[in-house]
Amino acid sequence: MQGTVDPVLLKKIEALRKSLHYHNYRYYVLDDPEISDAEYDRMMQELIQLETSYPELSSPDSPSVRVGAPPLDKFETAVHSLPMLSLDNAFGNSDVLDFDRRIKRFLNTGENIIYTAEPKMDGVAVEIIYKNGKLVLATTRGDGIRGEVITSNIKTIRSVPLVLREEKNEKIPSLLEIRGEVFISLDGFKRLNRDRLAGNLMPFANPRNAAAGSLRQLDSKVTAKRPLEIFFYGVGNLTDVEVPSHWDLLCLLKEMGFRINPLIRPKITIEEVLDFYKELSEKRNQLDYDIDGMVIKVDDLSMQKRLGATSRSPRWAIAYKFEALQETTRVLNIEVQVGRTGTLTPVAHLAPVIVGGVTVSRATLHNEDEIERKDVRIGDSVLVQRAGDVIPEVVKVIESKRTGKEKKFTMPHRCPVCNSGVVRLEGEAATRCINTNCPAQIKEGIKHFASKGGFDIDGLGDKLVSQLVDKGLLVSYADIFHLSMEAIESMERMGAKSAENLLLAIEKSKKISFEKFLYAIGIRYVGEHVAGILANEFQTLDRLMQASREDIEAVEGLGPVVAESIVRFFQQKENRDTIDRILDSGVKIISKGPRKSGKLRGKIFVLTGTLETMTRSEAKEMIESSGGKVSTTVSRNTDYVVAGGLPGSKLDRAKNLNIEIIDEAALKRMLSSGQ
Query: Of 120, 297, 443, 650, which is the active-site residue?
Result: 120
CB nearer to ligand IVH: give 141 or 226. Answer: 141
- Which residue stretches of 451-538 are H helix? 462-470, 485-489, 496-508, 514-520, 528-538
Q: Is 457 helix (H, G, I), strand (E, B) or coil?
A: coil
Q: Which of 121, 192, 273, 566 binds ligand IVH (CB under 6 A)?
A: 121
**Polymer length of the chain:** 675
β-bridge mates for residue 181, sequence order:
125, 231
Residue 464 binding ligand IVH, by CB under 6 A: no
Among this protein's residues, is 74 annotated catalytic?
A: no
Give 140 or 435: the residue with its C-beta nearer to ligand IVH. Answer: 140
284 binds ligand IVH (CB under 6 A): no
Range 353-412, binding ligand IVH (CB under 6 A):
none
Residue nearest ligand IVH, CB atom distance: 125
For the bound state, the minimum distance from the C-beta of residue 492 to ligand IVH, rounded and expressed in Å, comes to 53
DSSP secondary structure letter of residue 595 = G
CB 604 within 8 A of CB 629: yes
Of residues 120 and 386, the one with the C-beta less far from ligand IVH: 120
- Secondary structure of residue 624 in the 3-state scheme: helix
**Distance, CA of 320 to CA of 237 (rounded, Å):** 26
DSSP class of residue 248 equals H
| Site residues (CB under 6 A) for ligand IVH, limited to 77-116 | 85-87
Q: Which is nearer to ligand IVH, 16 or 317 (CB)?
A: 317
Identify which of residues 147 and 392 has a Cβ nearer to ligand IVH in the complex.
147
For residue 87, the minimal CB distance to ligand IVH (Å) is 4
Measured distance CA(600)–CA(68) in Å, rounded: 42
Among 17, 66, 80, 120, binds ligand IVH (CB under 6 A): 120
96 in Cβ contact with 318 (< 8 Å):
yes
Closer of 51 and 118 to ligand IVH (Cβ): 118
Interactions with ligand IVH, residue window 207-266 (CB under 6 A): 233-234
| Beta-bridge mates of residue 363 | 348
Q: How far apart are CA 666 and CA 605, in angstroms?
A: 13
Least distance to ligand IVH, CB of residue 316, Å: 9
Of 40 and 233, the one with the shorter C-beta distance to ligand IVH is: 233
CB of 80 to ligand IVH, least distance (A): 11
By CB neighbour count within 10 A (0-12 exposed, 13-18 middle, 19+ buried), where does 115 fall? buried
**At CA 506, angle to CA 503 and CA 512, rounded to 5?**
160
Closest to ligand IVH by CB, 273 or 622: 273
Helix (H), strand (E), coil (C) string for 348-410? EEEEEEEECCEEEEEEECCCHHHHHHHCCCECCEEEEECCCCCCCEEEEECHHHCCCCCECCC
Write the binding mask 580 to 619 for ligand IVH: x where contact by CB under 6 A, - elsewhere: ----------------------------------------
Cα of 401 vs its chain's centroid, Å: 34
CB of 112 to ligand IVH, least distance (A): 22
CA distance 525 to 539: 19
Question: For residue 543, what are the contacts with CB-CB under 8 A and spacing of at least 6?
Answer: none
Q: Using CB under 6 A, pick the residue from 44, 113, 125, 506 that binds ligand IVH.
A: 125
Smallest separation, CB 86 to ligand IVH (Å): 4
164-193 footprint of ligand IVH as x/- string (CB under 6 A): -----------------x------------
141 belongs to the binding site for ligand IVH (CB under 6 A): yes
Cβ atoms 338, 362 nearer than 8 A: no
Nearest residue to 332 via CA among 302, 360, 362: 362
At its nearest, how many Å lie between ligand IVH and the CB of residue 115? 12
545 touches ligand IVH by CB under 6 A = no
**Rounded least distance, CB 397 to ligand IVH, Å:** 27
Closer Cβ to ligand IVH, 118 or 479, answer by number: 118
By C-beta, is 292 or 553 nearer to ligand IVH?
A: 292
* Residue 523 φ/ψ, nearest 5 degrees: -75, 135
Q: Which stretch binds ligand IVH (CB under 6 A): 68-76, 120-128, 274-282, 544-552?
A: 120-128
The interface region with ligand IVH, picked from 61-69, 119-127, 266-274, 454-462 by CB under 6 A, is: 119-127
Strand partners, 79: 146
CB 61 within 8 Å of CB 163: yes
Residues 6+ apart with CB under 8 A from 504: none
Q: Helix axis angle, 186-198 relative to 207-215, nearest 10°? A: 70
Rounded Cα–Cα distance for residues 413 and 466 (Å): 24
Q: Is the distance from CB of 481 to CB of 507 less than 8 angstroms?
A: no
Do 654 and 639 contact (CB within 8 A), yes or no? Answer: no
Sketch the per residue contact string, 622 through 651, with ligand IVH: x for CB under 6 A, - otherwise.
Answer: ------------------------------
Binding mask 307-326 for ligand IVH (x = CB under 6 A): -------x--x-x-------
Shortest distance in whole angstroms from residue 261 CB to ligand IVH: 7
The least distance separating ligand IVH from the CB of residue 100, rounded to whole angstroms, comes to: 18
Q: Cα separation of 298 and 280, whole Å?
A: 19
Q: Considering beta carbons, is residue 160 or 520 the nearer one to ligand IVH?
A: 160
Compute how many residues bind ligand IVH; rule: CB under 6 A: 15
CB crowding 558-572: b at 16 or more within 10 Å, else e: beeebbeebbebbee
CA 585/CA 479 separation, integer angstroms: 9
Find the helix or strand (DSSP H, E) in which 296 lies: strand 291-298
Give the nearest distance from C-beta 118 to ligand IVH in angstroms. Answer: 4
State residue 295 phi and psi, 5-degree precision: -105, 125
* Least spacing, CB of residue 64 vs ligand IVH, in Å: 29
Q: Are strands 265-268 and 640-643 parallel, antiparallel or unpaired?
A: unpaired
Q: Does 295 bind ligand IVH (CB under 6 A)?
A: yes
What are residue 347's DSSP bridge partners? Answer: 335, 364
Contact positions vs ligand IVH (CB under 6 A): 85-87, 118, 120-121, 125, 141, 181, 233-234, 295, 314, 317, 319
Which residues participate in catalysis according to the annotation? 120
